[in-house]
Structure 1
């Protein structure tokens, strides 16, 4: 413990004590000291992410509106290039820890798919949640990235599904599911079939059970990070399942016709802890 503490500068002493306690207990909740150090920019960015302030500023994944330029597009996006807890990351060299049970309680829902120009967003009605580390997060929506945003031990996957949950305090909990090329997933196929071709359009589809998008093995990595799109709010508790599900080449190619590339580059882990469930 003392060796870890000495590796970090004094100006982050509040975060150090919090993170050391987290490693010792196996938890990864955002504690008071870390919240104090990050509260102002994170809280501001969460407001923007929730659509509560600031006019829309166009951004993208390539060219002059791509990730390298996000911080210059709006003052509300400044943390995208200056933050120290940004996502996604390469999930490697995780520290084994007792992270507790990952309890996922998602309910079947009717597909409501919106092409927002950056991805397809599937809205979730109230009632679904996940819990870990003493916190319960309410499912708000889920969406897909092509290719995967997180790497797993240096490996990138064709797709990644993010299940975005919210806390009452304004923070987020995101469950990430990696998707490998293989046997087709019927639920994912229904979701892709409902994607509207035009930006700003919402399509509907049949009932699906989002739990069919989960692997049987539930080993996971946890870390404190950010939204992977502007405003890049550093207010996310990440849970990424280490076992991927599969999709057929046809399903992956079909999604790529709508979104050829919508993944943010890997961000440095910096001085954060990446923990792996035992």
Structure 2
């Protein structure tokens, strides 16, 4: 049973821009000449998108996973949170007002925001899911830990329905009118895969602890389509080479 206890954010918010040497704004996106295949060439700040060897997302499959004694993720999420809901032109994101955190390897990682990708960024044995949710956390020393949750095709998800209803249809942000039920956004079984990866958006920084939950939740086809309609495009980065890494399970 899950137990819940009641500056840099700009880069974690996946804002879609970087200031190049001359101070001009460098935009990135998901289609055309600013799409994922070109991120590493758009700005020096994005070079890891092209040269990094430990990039995310990846395909999680039997050839790259190994058995390990993984400690349970120690969640300290409030049952319900308030905050802002943001459409930044790349995703729909929720920025909580309250302090929520996890403890991994004895270190506290504070929840900065959570956001969505459709279709999923990670795949499992080559399978894509309708939606992927990323809970982005940061420790006091700057290290990042991201929890990934995927949504398979099935029944409508009430909490997702609530978020989509409040999400700005154009770039902008607003206060959430209702509280977000955090328990509803995580599966009952919190078994997970772990690997060392990167942000899945520019600047594609590496050294990110990835905790990818094994058990999917469900959303309806209509909910996935509504998200894509709001965004106007699919916002998933293609899977990246695993290279020498192993994924712990």
- Shorter-chain TM-score tier: 0.7 to 0.9
Q: Once the two structures are superposed, what CA deviation does each residue of 1:151-180 show, in whole Å capped at 9, x if it has no partner? A: 012110010000000011112100000001
Q: Once the two structures are superposed, what CA deviation does each residue of 1:239-274 show, in whole Å capped at 9, x if it has no partner? A: 000110001222112111112300000001111121
Pair 1:234 & 2:196 matched: no
Describe the SS at the equivalent of 2:89: coil
Cα distance in 2 between the residues matched to 1:254 and 1:47: 27
Aligned residues: 230
In structure 2, the residue matched to 1:275 is 248
1:90 Cα deviation (Å)? 0.5
| Change in 2 beyond 3 A, CA 1:48/1:205 | closer
Cα distance in 2 between the residues matched to 1:81 and 1:148: 21
Cα distance in 2 between the residues matched to 1:60 and 1:226: 17
Pair 1:103 & 2:74 matched: yes
**Which stretch shows the higher mean deviation, 55-64 or 164-173?**
55-64
Describe the SS at the equivalent of 1:239: strand
TM-score (norm. length: structure 1): 0.78
TM-score (norm. length: structure 2): 0.87
1:47 Cα deviation (Å)? 9.8
Higher helix share: 1
Structure 1 vs Structure 2 CA RMSD: 1.8
**Which stretch shows the higher mean deviation, 200-209 or 104-113?**
200-209
Matches within 5 A, 1:209-228: 209-228=181-200
Structure 1: where are the runs of 5+ without partners?
1-45
Matches within 5 A, 1:176-195: 176-195=148-167
1:136 Cα deviation (Å)? 2.0
Q: Once the two structures are superposed, what CA deviation does each residue of 1:177-204 show, in whole Å capped at 9, x if it has no partner? A: 0001111111111111111011134353
1:95 Cα deviation (Å)? 0.7
Conserved 8 A contact 1:195-1:203: no
Pair 1:122 & 2:84 matched: no
| Change in 2 beyond 3 A, CA 1:57/1:168 | same
Pair 1:81 & 2:50 matched: yes
Matches within 5 A, 1:1-278: 49=11, 54=19, 56-93=25-62, 94-107=65-78, 108-202=80-174, 204-259=176-231, 260-276=233-249
**Which stretch shows the higher mean deviation, 54-63 or 170-179?**
54-63
Cα distance in 2 between the residues matched to 1:273 and 1:135: 22
Cα distance in 2 between the residues matched to 1:115 and 1:226: 22
Cα distance in 2 between the residues matched to 1:148 and 1:173: 18
**Which stretch shows the higher mean deviation, 75-84 or 120-129?**
120-129
